[in-house]
Structure 1
């Protein structure tokens, strides 16, 4: 089962009422399916608002800059990037709530089917 994905994201808050967006930096060899899955995960995470996927809250507006997206031909899939988007967003919202620097998320993404 594919479990590899690597992303680097920056989050910038937007005024209330503005829609959340993802901005992709140019990558040498982009993969549209993985970009779309990552974007869906980020937007899903922002829609929950609390930074905790198990306790969603109000939506949060943010501009998300995707600095890096890396994958492997065999060991990556869309579900990995969907989950990475959710996890990265949860970490960013948690950092804002706790007034702390972000920590890398190093994990094997567990895929739910």
Structure 2
């Protein structure tokens, strides 16, 4: 089978890079604090197993958000093709034709509505 040629280079969307940079440190601290609280939960008068397990909920939630932020920065990109601009986000692909881009003009926001 012949190798398919791509039209243009893919460029990462910077908004997801910034999201990773902004959230990664905070989420790691939340995970660490939640794990420390779970480790010391018997001395914090959390005797039942259910109460001790609830201390891990923030760690699980922060871990899921951390994974999403890590993988979304790799999955989001922009590519110039021959007849349109393709914007690929983690959830929604978008193709904008160059005719629409060419037809745009600056407008005051209060004049639109």
TM more than 0.5: no
Q: Which structure has the highest helix share of the two?
A: 2
TM-score range with shorter-chain normalisation?
under 0.3
Higher relative contact order (CA 8 A, sep 6+): 1
Which structure is larger by alpha-carbon Rg, 1 or 2? 2
